Amino acid sequence: MNNLRRHLTLAANQLGLRAETEHAITLPDGRELRAEAFFPDLGGPKGIAVFCLDGVPTVTIEAVLGAGHAASFLGEPAGDEVLEIDGYARMFAEWGWAGNPARRPPWMDVGSRPSNVAH
């Protein structure tokens, strides 16, 4: 497991979000692109897929976005980089909640900080 996938999975677990690590998007040309993580309740009605930006050609980024998928392209954290849960919480909140409104975590409210997670 690479560091990006590990960080995304840990952050999702600490913040009470659903995250899938075995998710692929099929591009219009038939190619499959494996996501580092997929968040079904964030980003839009179809969720949001997160890909590692390192080594992904611009044409692939354009194809993913052009196919109407919500996606985020993030750099690979350094091996010794500490998980900053507040940063992930802000990023997830910026993507927006798209799941069942009754399941929306309270920390996603604007200006709110996750108080129930270990730092």
pLDDT-based confidence at residue 93 (cuts at 50, 70, 90)? very high
How would you classify the pairing of strands 70-74 and 24-26? unpaired
Instruction: Count Cβ atoms below 10 Å from residue 74 Cβ, excluding itself.
Output: 16
What predicted TM-score, i.e. pTM, was given to this entire model? 0.83
* pLDDT 10s digits, 68-79: 778 888 888 887
Distance CA 38, CA 12 (A): 10
- What is the C-alpha to C-alpha distance for residues 83 and 35, in angstroms, rounded to an integer? 20
Rounded distance between C-alpha atoms, residue 18 and residue 38, angstroms: 8
| pLDDT beyond 90 at 24 | no
Q: Which amino acid is at 27?
A: L
Please tell me the predicted confidence (pLDDT) of residue 119.
34
Report phi then psi at 37, rounded to 5. Answer: -160, 155
